A and B are shown apart, each in its own frame.
Chain A
Amino acid sequence: NAGVTQTPKFRVLKTGQSMTLLCAQDMNHEYMYWYRQDPGMGLRLIHYSVGEGTTAKGEVPDGYNVSRLKKQNFLLGLESAAPSQTSVYFCASSPPGLAKNIQYFGAGTRLSVL
């Protein structure tokens, strides 16, 4: 039982390049989330999903797209990376039912956009 796994762990992009971050969970969780963490800004929600095939915008969705084609995977895409997207990205998941508020985090992806 690996929990929440994020790949890659580190990535350096040039402005304008695209990439996809993968989040995988093996806990059969319904809910999945993507956050970005910047110094002094806490954790800000980018997009989230309440189940397979569903996605919704969070607090800071601009410049990102997501997909949840399989229940266990939640992908975060950057179509044209900008230096402002340099950040640490965390994925999280939570179980169905009343415990859906209890989130389990992945180890993070550190992204630098030059």
Chain B
Amino acid sequence: GENVEQHPSTLSVQEGDSAVIKCTYSDSASNYFPWYKQELGKRPQLIIDIRSNVGEKKDQRIAVTLNKTAKHFSLHITETQPEDSAVYFCAASRWGSQGNLIFGKGTKLSVKP
């Protein structure tokens, strides 16, 4: 079955710096890769996703890149702000399958003002 590994487990940056979180997956049939943000005490919320027919997707200050050959994908946050502080989860799935997501273990991002 699919296995998703996420690094680093914690990340601390200064406000205004960039942050990068990386995930690798094992199942070459996976083709859908969402990222969820979970603020302290809140529910996970989808912030961006990418399908394997594209290599990069951007939404304002966040972007996701995908390397199918190496089976890894990354979340990039530019110009970080204190409100970006949260736990970020990557996941992998087969688009159009039963919908099951396999999650990474999460990265706790701290943005220091």
Contact = CB atoms under 8 A, between A and B. Distances in A.
A101 B32 contact: yes
Interface in A65-114: 90, 94, 98, 100-108
A104 to B, nearest CB: 8
Interface stretch (B52-60, B74-82, B97-105): B97-105
A105 to B, nearest CB: 4
Interface in B26-45: 32, 34, 36, 42-45
B33 to A, nearest CB: 10
Contacts of A101: 32, 34, 93-97, 99, 101
A61 interface: no
Nearest to A43: B103
B43 A106 contact: yes
A41 B43 contact: no
Contact of A107 (B6, B42, B46, B105): B42
B106 to A, nearest CB: 5
A106 B94 CA distance: 23
Interface residues of B, number: 25
A41 B105 CA distance: 5
A21 interface: no
B95 A105 contact: no
A98 to B, nearest CB: 5
A45 interface: yes
A98 B93 CA distance: 12
A107 B101 CA distance: 18
Nearest to A48: B100
Contacts of B104: 42
Given A90-B44, A101-B34, A108-B43, 8 more contacts: A40-B106, A43-B44, A43-B103, A48-B99, A58-B100, A90-B43, A104-B46, A106-B43
